[in-house]
A and B are shown apart, each in its own frame.
Chain A
Amino acid sequence: MKRISRLLSDRLALLSLAVLAAIAAAGMLAPWLAPHPPDEVNMALRYGPWSLHYPLGNDQLGRCVLSRILYGIRPSVLLVLAAVLASVLIGAAVGMAAGYAGGRTDALLMRLCDVMLSFPGYVMTLAVIGVLGVGLQNILLAFILMKWAWFARIVRSSVRQIADADYVRFARTLGTGSLAILFRHILPVCVPELAVVASSSFGSTLLQVSGLSFLGLGIQAPQAEWGMMLSEARQSMFSRPELMLAPGLMIVLTVSAVNFLSDAMQQAVDPQAGSSKRHQPERAEAALIGREVA
């Protein structure tokens, strides 16, 4: 709890958290917040300017840009979040199994992780799209397939550190079951580290999904997605550059918020690892030394 209060005492973190919460809420409440249906075509309003009725103007088919941005939160942010959570869950399960069981199970699972991690992420994603066809769900599936191994390694290494801790041995001696030990005594120790890694991974995944949608490999029309909106605006990039602003800024805003939050979380979990200027210099030095030792 000390960590959470430390996190919330960081103003930038608080702001990032507020921004992300607002975006997530807006995404969930899109049907009520959006002034118009996101796929309502009205050619009379093609490339309409900003107005009271259409606060962010209209796109090449006269659709309301604001509504599309709001609906776009769902695939761009919420689904990506779900995908990251799914890979964290799979990764945590595998990592805990490997770290706690040790021996052959550990070796087998870790070699499997090695295999998964040896593929470059984009190649794997493109391969999955090549086999299953274009579509957001396939991209997210590819991400889950790729990322779980990464999380598994992280969880496994922190489980290894505490699997032989005295309090775990004590619990074992008392006859507590393996599952109970894992969930009650080991998992809580791993969570902070996992949260940090997952949040930074969330930021990069968000950018990658937008990038793939920009290339036309992600979500298909008429659903709105920020990357795809950017791609559509690109068609008229020189005659109507303003169409790129809304989706572009939303991506920048969200990814920045995620990254600032992730940074702050890292400091909250381990104040010594801070590298930001906001911290006292001797701490940064200590962190440097600490890293070298590690």
Chain B
Amino acid sequence: MKHSRNALSAIFILFLIFSSGCSDSGNEPAAEAAKQGQAREIIYASSKDINDMNPHLYSGSMPAQGMIYESLVEKTEDGIKPLLAESWDISEDGMSYTFHLRHGVTFHDGSPFNAEAVKVNIDAVQANAERHAWIKLSTKIKEVRATDEYTVQLLLDEPYYPTLLELSMTRPYVFLSPKDFINGQTKDGVAGYDGTGPYRLADQKPEQYAVFEANESYWGGAPQVKRITAKVLPSGETTLLALQKGEVNFIFTDDRGADGVDVEAMQSLVDSGRYQLLRSKPMNTKMIAANSSSTGPVHERAVRLALWHAVDRETIAGQILHGAESPADSLFSGNVEYADIPLAKRGYDLKHAAELLEDAGWKLENGGETRVKNGRQLALKLYYDAASSSQKTEAELIQSAAKTIGMKLELIGEQSSSVAARRASGDYDLLFNQTWGLAYDPQSTVSAFTAESSYAHTTGGIEGVEELYAKIGQVTGTRDEEKRKALYKEILTTVHDEAVFIPITHGSMAVLAPNDLEGVAFKQTQFELPFELMHFK
């Protein structure tokens, strides 16, 4: 009978509730002990499948791609350092880069890494130019020449100062064995995933797990942790249980800035004495992007400013995030290059926010809760990533503050990919977002202000946008450091004044690792971790 089955499911829910209430102290020393016997490996939890590992496309997991593939140069705290290129020369006019490649590097399939491999890889990326329009270097490369076995020359149309920076990124300018190309191209799929990196992809079961094995012939010496497994665990609670049981032993902030497990739970694992929690320096800024080109109320600067004043950053950073992140008052924190400029600080001030709206003509009419102007309600849609453990709570806090100033926020939780699709199509009022992090800030993030697939809708509706775009176009071609600084200052001041990016907190990357794992460090990007440096005691 149908309803007795309902009664059964009701009882089942009851059982779930009680059992969940009782099992939170369930340590599994047995599983841990069993692990001790064999060689230790890293098993990390990932909320999504690592997906397509083709390094010249964008659906794959970046930390996984970072293990398999390498770029010519690497960004470190002390600037650009050699990686697959041992050294390089830049011509006087800034339009020709000559790279001297590292000798004796091979791809995972045994084929040699040489100038020809560099050329076919960069050509393959350029052949799919539209897809890579966000990375401005792709629009500047004129030609790649293999001048001899280990020398590559990169010719540009015009000088472009972030060339080395963009070559250092996780993708797309990384190298796949030419044997894996299909018809000399990579844009329609590849036959294998052989890079030059410290790990190679050994096994992948979609939506379940992926196994990476150490590349024993890695040019930098074979990594000490021989096996890394990425296990797909979509929800934070199962991840936490898996961490307690030892099914996984490593988690980190994923490439969309979401920590699967909330801060309190991570702290409780640290308190259990089996895990360590490490945090990087601030890497990015979590923010709300406002669609200034929309025809709705968010097109108005006053509305965006009011929302800016309605965000209680201190409470978000201190209470919701338990102090793991710090309040942000501007799009980029002061330690980002070119971003240390004086900008007006706009704090949490509901009274001022209400005044701003009042002055702009948004009035509360006969006891209504939402302000109205020309018969239009001050109602905005705010999209958040449903998988994030904190965005919804933050959104609800902002929503309740906004309500008191007569601004109605409608919250809609969606998958991160559909939030990204909204950003590209412009079908949003407000959405949660983050800057691209140290490796990309400010140059790539600023370039993305004009890119259709990124922030064109966010910046498109501000006053004098053509002038802003012209400056953004200029800045990367400027060879003079002082002039560049001045241009960035003008650009960043404009977007700050226009309040199209409403900063919330400066985010960092967190790693929860077993206590006896040493060498856990961070890179200058939020999208990769240096697994090859880690080893068990």
Q: Which residues of A contact B (CB under 8 A)?
A: 39-41, 43, 46, 60-61, 134, 199-201, 203-204, 207, 216, 220-222, 232, 234-239, 241-242, 244-245, 248-249, 251-252, 255-256, 258-260, 262-263, 275
Contact = CB atoms under 8 A, between A and B. Distances in A.
Contacts of B464: none
Interface string B1-35: 11110110111011011001100100000000000
Contact of A39 (B13, B14, B264, B400): B400
B319 interface: yes
Contact of A259 (B6, B262, B392, B411): B6
Contact of B399 (A43, A222, A235): A222
B21 A236 contact: no
B265 A238 contact: yes
B63 interface: no
B347 interface: no
B411 A238 contact: no
B3 A263 contact: yes
B236 interface: yes
A232 B262 CA distance: 12
Given A200-B2, A259-B7, A43 B315 contact: yes
A244 B21 contact: yes
Contacts of A260: 7
Contacts, number: 111
B410 A204 contact: no
Interface of B: 1-4, 6-7, 9-11, 13-14, 16-17, 20-21, 24, 236-237, 240, 262, 264-265, 268, 312, 315, 319-320, 386, 389, 392-393, 395-397, 399-401, 403, 410-414
Contact of A255 (B10, B24, B319, B397): B10
A16 to B, nearest CB: 12
Give the residue among A221, A241, A262 with the most B Cβ atoms within 10 A.
A221
Nearest to A254: B10
Nearest to B384: A221
B440 to A, nearest CB: 30
A260 B7 CA distance: 9
Given A39-B400, A255-B7, A259-B3, A221 B24 contact: no
Contacts of A258: 3, 6
Contacts of B21: 241-242, 244-245
A234 B210 CA distance: 27
Contacts of B2: 200-201, 204
A251 B400 contact: no
Contacts of B4: 259, 263
A259 B240 CA distance: 35
Contacts of A46: 319
Contacts of A234: 237
B412 A61 contact: no
B396 A41 contact: yes
B264 A251 contact: no
A246 to B, nearest CB: 10
Contacts of A207: 6, 9-10
B6 A241 contact: no
Contact of A241 (B24, B319, B393, B411): B24
Contact of A238 (B9, B240, B396): B240
Given A200-B2, A203-B6, A256-B10, A235 B396 contact: no
Contacts of A235: 236, 262, 389, 393
B237 A238 contact: yes
Contact of A216 (B262, B264, B400, B413): B413
